[in-house]
Structure 1
Amino acid sequence: MTSRRLRWIFLLLLSLTLLLWYSRLSMSGVTMVNTGVRGYVRVSPGQVGQILHLHCTRCAVVSSSGQMLGSGRGSEIDRQECVIRMNVAPTRGFEADVGNRSTVRVVSHTSVPHLLKKEEYFFGHDADTLYVVWGPERNMRQDGKGRVFNALVKLAMKYPRVRIYVVTHEKIQYCDSVFQNETGKNRMKSGAFLSTGFFTMILALDVCDSILVYGMIDGSYCSNSNRTSVPYHYYESSRLDECMMYGVHERAKRGGHRFITEKSIYRRWASQGRLQFAYPNWSP
């Protein structure tokens, strides 16, 4: 009887020890089981509904802005655990300023045709990159009528090694609600489209513990009289001036991105401590 009682006491103490150990891990931020990041579903024939599994301690979010030209931040960017880029911004030829590594590319539905034009570069040279594509329901529907989604399915079949995810309709609605909560304006009623930068920042907040942002200017930058004129994209030096482009979109009654408004939102997010604007450097 005494032996049985001692055995039960031993098992009880062991259970309590394991429970305390698990609780301590949970409180310290260690996740025992990676349940994935909801809102991002893999495009993979035969594996419908696979959600994104990605976690990074420290991320570099690299803008496509001409601000990156001459920055010399390439090696610094490549030293971060995860590097997140946007649309089809190349690294080749710009390594000194933007780095070479690409962990994730967040891609607009309008940029998918540009991916298709440079398949070898993006799915050969960048074969290990994870692609996250966002777009409106009419282009991303999965009933055979979503033009962009159909193109992604073909890509996934042609390049089975490449991981392609789409932002779900529910996640896009969530992003709309974030925009409205931050600005007090209904995104659709205001005639605006969220930018790829906005979806990129939401993804970074979903998967990164801390975020270094490169190439994003302060929302007040374009109103400064002594500002420097830079190209809208660092890889299109002969194209439109960045601030001119921002102004056209900000004033557009329909179909424009609210780049300046979005950067004001990022400023508030940065004050919470997880975002840091590494280059150009500006504080919240």
Structure 2
Amino acid sequence: MGLRLSGKQGQQSHRMVIFVAIFILMTLLFLYGSNNGNNDVFTPIHVAVNNFLKTTDLKKWAGKDGYVTFHGNKNMTLHCNSCALVTSSSHVLGSQAGEEIDRTECVIRMNDAPTLGYETDVGSRTTLRVVAHSSVFRVVRRPAEFLHRMDNNPVIIFWGPPNKIGKEGKGTLYRLIQRVSMTYSNLSCFSIIPSKMRRFDSLFHKETGRDRQKSHSWLSTGWFTMVIAVEICDNIKVYGMVPPNHCGKKPGSKKIPYHYYKPRGPDECVTYIQSESARRGNHHRFITEKQVFSRWAKQYNITFTHPNW
């Protein structure tokens, strides 16, 4: 009888040890997961992972009704057979691609990237400029550069929080852009409406598996510009954009300024890597975005030059 009791007590003790071990393990996993949620270390999406992600048909996703004018009753109707998307990267310097860019049907630029003084490498024409809310002042305060030097019927698309550039907010930026639209009658200025802004977030989530807000990310102007280019262009040639693995393959490579017009600005690869792996605050995920662009290339007739990839 005594032996039977001892056996049962031993089994109970053994089960208790297993239960405690499982409890401790689950607790540690929970704490680890919670800690990761607060300090999300954003790792780039790799091609193998992307095979399990949903691919959006951007041609069906596109909608010209997602843009609203700042003045008058203009509609966003721009469509081009061929587009030159000129980035702000210093890789365009020395390319001597200016004439080729200017021969393209439509030329797309971003934010306050200038052409004056850089025509040999980046051309002089601008059909469409995509501008973040943080760059509005830099663009409108230099009308001779950014407004007079555009095509006959140029378009500027502004993106940003609705309370800053949206019609409902009617803040300083909205009134400023509206005044510019009224002054330059041939210029069409549009903002991206809130519902379409949410769709840009949803697209990022579908293409990367990452929730933008939970991963503490800001979509870059490059992301907006590429998606808009796919909407309006049948063929896109991108100038100056590096491939997603560029900053990891040559640790000792020559440093390149992030912007071609800011030679003393931060190094491009340092900016990319720091932004991609940042734990705190909101950052662009440049490398992950370029991995998505790489997957889109064949689907949407996108080619990359200077460098070629």
TM range (shorter): 0.7 to 0.9
Q: Partner of 2:198 in structure 1? A: 173
Q: Partner of 2:304 in structure 1? A: 277
Is structure 2 residue 102 aligned with structure 1 residue 78?
yes
Q: Partner of 2:263 in structure 1? A: 237
CA contact 1:37–1:207 (8 Å) conserved in 2: no
1:79 CA displacement: 1.4
Q: How many pairs does the alignment contain?
A: 244
Question: Residue by residue, what CA displacement relative to the aligned partner does 1:161-210 show, whole Å, maximum 9, x if unpaired?
Answer: 22111111121111111100011111111111100000000110000001
Alignment counterpart, residue 140 of structure 2, candidates 116, 120, 142: 116
Question: Residue by residue, what CA displacement relative to the aligned partner does 1:62-106 show, whole Å, maximum 9, x if unpaired?
Answer: 000011111111111111111100011111111111111111000
Q: Partner of 1:132 in structure 2? A: 157
Q: Partner of 1:157 in structure 2? A: 182
Q: Partner of 1:248 in structure 2? A: 274
Q: Partner of 1:260 in structure 2? A: 287
Greater than 6 Å deviation, 4+ residue runs? none
Once structures 1 and 2 are overlaid, which stretch shifts more, 219-228 or 193-202? 219-228
Is structure 2 residue 134 aligned with structure 1 residue 107?
no
Once structures 1 and 2 are overlaid, which stretch shifts more, 210-219 or 167-176? 167-176
Larger Rg: 2
Q: Partner of 2:37 in structure 1? A: none
Aligned to 1:240, the other structure's residue is in SS state: coil
In structure 2, C-alpha distance between the alignment counterparts of 1:161 and 1:100, rounded to whole Å: 18
Identity of aligned residues (%): 43
Alignment counterpart, residue 219 of structure 2, candidates 181, 184, 194: 194
Question: Residue by residue, what CA displacement relative to the aligned partner does 1:102-128 show, whole Å, maximum 9, x if unpaired?
Answer: 110000100001013212322223374
- Indicate the RMSD between aligned Cα atoms, in angstroms: 1.6
Once structures 1 and 2 are overlaid, which stretch shifts more, 178-187 or 247-256? 247-256
CA contact 1:127–1:161 (8 Å) conserved in 2: no
CA contact 2:86–2:238 (8 Å) conserved in 1: yes
Q: Compute the TM-score of the two structures, normalised by the length of structure 1.
A: 0.81
1:248 CA displacement: 2.2
CA contact 2:110–2:221 (8 Å) conserved in 1: yes
Q: Partner of 1:66 in structure 2? A: 90
Aligned to 1:38, the other structure's residue is in SS state: helix
Once structures 1 and 2 are overlaid, which stretch shifts more, 202-211 or 269-278? 269-278
CA contact 1:63–1:216 (8 Å) conserved in 2: yes
Aligned to 1:212, the other structure's residue is in SS state: strand
Q: Partner of 2:249 in structure 1? A: 224
Q: Which has the higher contact order (CA 8 A, sep 6+)?
A: 2
In structure 1, C-alpha distance between the alignment counterparts of 2:167 and 2:70, rounded to whole Å: 10
In structure 1, C-alpha distance between the alignment counterparts of 2:196 and 2:169, rounded to whole Å: 21
1:159 CA displacement: 2.2
CA contact 1:43–1:153 (8 Å) conserved in 2: yes
CA contact 2:132–2:160 (8 Å) conserved in 1: yes
Once structures 1 and 2 are overlaid, which stretch shifts more, 264-273 or 103-112? 264-273
Is structure 2 residue 115 aligned with structure 1 residue 91?
yes
Greater strand fraction, Structure 1 or Structure 2: 1
In structure 2, C-alpha distance between the alignment counterparts of 1:202 and 1:144, rounded to whole Å: 25
In structure 1, C-alpha distance between the alignment counterparts of 2:186 and 2:247, rounded to whole Å: 42
Is structure 2 residue 65 aligned with structure 1 residue 38?
yes
Once structures 1 and 2 are overlaid, which stretch shifts more, 91-100 or 145-154? 145-154
Q: Which residue identity does 1:219 align to in structure 2?
A: P
Q: Partner of 1:207 in structure 2? A: 232
In structure 1, C-alpha distance between the alignment counterparts of 2:300 and 2:68, rounded to whole Å: 29
Question: Residue by residue, what CA displacement relative to the aligned partner does 1:48-74 show, whole Å, maximum 9, x if unpaired?
Answer: xx4301110011100000111111111
CA contact 1:105–1:131 (8 Å) conserved in 2: yes
